[in-house]
C-alpha cells in the first residue's frame, strides 16, 4: 500500500521519465527478446485511442458552447494560416539542416526494395471527406477530421438552441449542454486513471522500440537519425521561441508547462494518442479552453511540423544517394507538395513513410529510398511526433495570446473557460 501511495504521489513527468529510462535499459539488455514487453505499450496506446474520439467530440461541443459563431470563425481564420506557415518553415529547416549534415553520403539503394506509389491526396476530396456520409463509420474508423466536423455541427446546434427565442428550445438546449458537460467530466476522470498506467506503457513501448532496431541499421543510417533530431531541435529551440517571443510569451515558462505532452508524444510517436495529454498541457500553459479545445484536435490531424521537416530532409537525403542536384525551383515545388502532404498525413505512427512516398512520387525520386529508412522509422518517428505536438501547442498559444490582446484592447474580460 505504501508503494502505491509513493507511486501516485510522484509527478507525472518523474514517472514518465523513469519509465522511459527503464525501457531504454531493458531494450539494450534484452535486444529482440524485449518484444515480450510490447503488449504493455500496446495496451497504453489502445487506452489512449479508446478515449480520443469521445474526448474530441465532448470537448469540442463544450468549447463551441463557450464561444459564438463569430468567435469560431475568428479563431479559424487565425489558426489555419499559422499552420500553413509553420509547416512550410519546417520543410525549409529540414532542407537546410540536411544540406549541412549530408545524411545520404556513402549510402546506396537497397537492391530488393520495392515500394508501391501511394495515392496522392486531393485537396477537394479531403474537404469533401470531412463531411461523413455515415456518422457511425466516421466514429468507428477514427476519421478525426470528420469527427471534428460532426462535433462542431452538434455543438453549434446546441448553441443556437440555448440562445433561441423559443423557451422550450432554450430549455432543451440547456439540458443537452449539461449532459454534454457531465460526459466531458466523466472522460476527464477516465483519462486521469489512464495516465496512472502511462509509465508502465512507456516501458513497453521504449523497450520494444530500442530492442527491435538492429544496431547495424542504426549505425548505417546514423546521420539520417542525427539530422532528424537536429532539425526538430532547431524548430523547438530556435524557430518556435522566436515566434513565441514576438507574441510576448515567456518561452521557458511555456515549455516547462507543456513538457508532459512533449515527452508523451516522443514516447508514443502519435499526435492523436497524445491528444488527451496535450489538452491538459494546454490548460497548464494558460491557453484558453475555447482556443485549446477548438484548435488542438484539428492540429493533431492537419498541423504536422515534424512530419513536414522529415519531408524536406528526406528529399535532400534521396538526392545525395542518387547523385542528383536540386534547383531552387525544385525546392519551392517540394515545399508546396510537402506542405499539402503533411496536412493530409494522419497523426499516427508510421504515417510519415506514407507522406514521404507521396512527396517522392511528385518529385520524381525513387520510392525505394523510403524503404531504406523504414528500418529506423520508429526512432525518427519519435522526434518528428515531438515536433508535431510542440507545433500544435505553440500555434494554440499564439492564437490565445492574440485573443487575449484583442479582448484587452476592446476592454472585455477574457474568460479562459476553465473552472
371 pLDDT tier (thresholds 50, 70, 90): low
Q: Which residue from 294, 308, 268, 232 is spatially nearest to 45, judged by alpha carbons? A: 268
Look-up: residue for cell 443537452? 176
Rounded Cα gap, residues 304 and 87, in angstroms: 7
Segment 210-233 shows an average pLDDT of: 81
How do the domains of the chain map onto residue ranges?
11-410
**Residues contacting 176, CB < 8 A, separation 6+:** 158, 161
Computed on alpha carbons and rounded to an integer, the radius of gyration of the chain in Å comes to 22
Residue 38 grid cell? 510490447
List, in sequence order, the alpha helices (H) in 285-376.
289-302, 305-322, 328-343, 351-363, 368-374
- The H-or-E segment that residue 124 falls in is helix 123-129
* 3-state SS assignment for residue 341: helix
Residue 214: band (very low, low, confident or very high) from pLDDT cuts 50, 70, 90: low
Task: Please provide the average confidence, as pLDDT, over all residues in the chain.
Answer: 82
Question: What's the first-to-final CA gap in the chain, in angstroms?
Answer: 33
pLDDT tens per residue, range 133-182: 888 888 887 777 788 888 889 988 998 899 888 999 999 999 999 999 99
What is the grid cell recorded at 387? Answer: 515536433
What's the CA gap between 214 and 218, in Å, rounded? 6
Per-residue pLDDT reduced to its tens digit, 319-369: 888 777 777 777 777 777 777 666 655 545 556 666 676 677 666 777 667
Q: What value, to the nearest 5°, has the Cα angle with vertex 368 and ends 367 and 372?
A: 120
Instruction: Assess whether pLDDT exceeds 50 at residue 66.
Output: yes
| CATH code that applies to domain 11-410 | 1.10.3860
Amino acid at each position: 500500500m505504501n508503494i502505491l501511495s509513493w507511486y501516485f504521489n510522484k509527478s507525472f513527468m518523474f514517472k514518465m521519465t523513469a519509465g522511459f529510462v527503464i525501457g531504454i535499459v531493458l531494450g539494450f539488455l534484452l535486444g529482440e527478446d524485449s518484444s515480450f514487453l510490447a503488449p504493455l505499450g500496446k495496451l497504453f496506446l489502445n487506452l489512449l485511442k479508446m478515449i480520443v474520439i469521445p474526448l474530441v467530440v465532448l470537448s469540442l461541443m463544450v468549447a463551441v458552447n463557450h464561444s459564438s459563431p463569430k468567435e469560431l470563425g475568428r479563431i479559424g481564420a487565425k489558426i489555419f494560416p499559422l499552420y500553413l506557415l509553420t509547416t512550410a518553415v519546417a520543410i525549409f529547416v529540414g532542407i537546410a539542416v540536411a544540406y549541412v549534415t549530408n545524411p545520404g553520403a556513402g549510402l546506396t539503394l537497397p537492391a530488393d526494395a520495392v515500394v508501391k506509389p501511394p495515392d496522392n491526396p486531393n485537396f477537394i476530396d479531403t474537404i469533401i471527406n470531412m463531411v461523413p456520409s455515415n456518422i457511425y463509420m466516421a466514429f468507428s474508423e477514427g476519421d478525426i477530421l470528420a469527427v471534428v466536423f460532426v462535433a462542431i455541427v452538434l455543438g453549434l446546434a446546441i448553441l443556437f438552441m440555448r440562445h433561441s427565442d423559443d423557451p422550450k428550445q432554450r430549455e432543451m438546449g440547456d439540458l443537452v449542454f449539461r449532459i454534454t458537460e457531465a460526459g466531458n467530466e466523466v472522460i476527464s476522470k477516465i483519462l486521469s486513471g489512464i495516465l496512472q498506467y502511462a509509465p508502465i506503457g512507456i516501458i513497453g513501448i521504449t523497450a520494444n522500440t530500442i530492442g527491435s532496431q538492429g544496431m547495424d541499421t542504426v549505425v548505417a543510417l546514423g546521420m539520417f537519425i542525427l539530422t532528424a533530431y537536429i532539425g526538430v531541435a532547431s524548430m523547438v529551440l530556435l524557430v518556435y521561441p522566436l515566434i513565441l517571443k514576438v507574441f510576448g510569451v515567456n518561452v521557458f515558462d511555456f515549455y516547462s508547462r507543456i513538457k508532459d505532452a512533449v515527452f508523451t508524444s516522443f514516447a508514443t510517436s502519435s499526435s492523436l494518442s497524445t491528444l488527451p495529454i496535450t489538452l491538459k498541457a494546454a490548460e497548464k500553459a494558460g491557453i484558453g479552453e475555447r482556443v485549446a479545445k477548438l484548435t488542438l484536435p484539428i492540429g493533431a490531424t492537419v498541423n504536422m511540423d515534424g512530419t513536414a521537416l522529415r519531408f524536406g530532409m528526406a528529399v535532400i537525403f534521396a538526392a545525395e544517394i542518387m547523385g542528383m542536384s536540386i534547383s531552387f525551383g525544385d525546392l519551392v515545388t517540394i515545399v508546396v507538395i510537402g506542405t499539402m502532404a503533411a496536412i493530409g498525413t494522419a497523426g499516427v505512427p508510421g504515417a510519415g513513410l506514407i507522406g514521404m512516398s507521396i512527396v517522392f512520387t511528385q518529385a520524381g525520386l525513387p520510392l525505394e529510398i523510403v524503404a531504406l529508412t523504414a528500418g529506423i522509422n520508429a526512432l525518427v518517428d519519435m522526434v518528428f511526433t515531438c515536433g508535431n505536438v510542440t507545433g500544435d501547442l505553440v500555434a494554440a498559444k499564439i492564437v490565445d495570446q492574440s485573443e487575449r490582446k484583442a479582448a484587452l484592447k476592446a476592454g472585455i474580460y477574457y474568460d479562459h473557460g476553465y473552472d
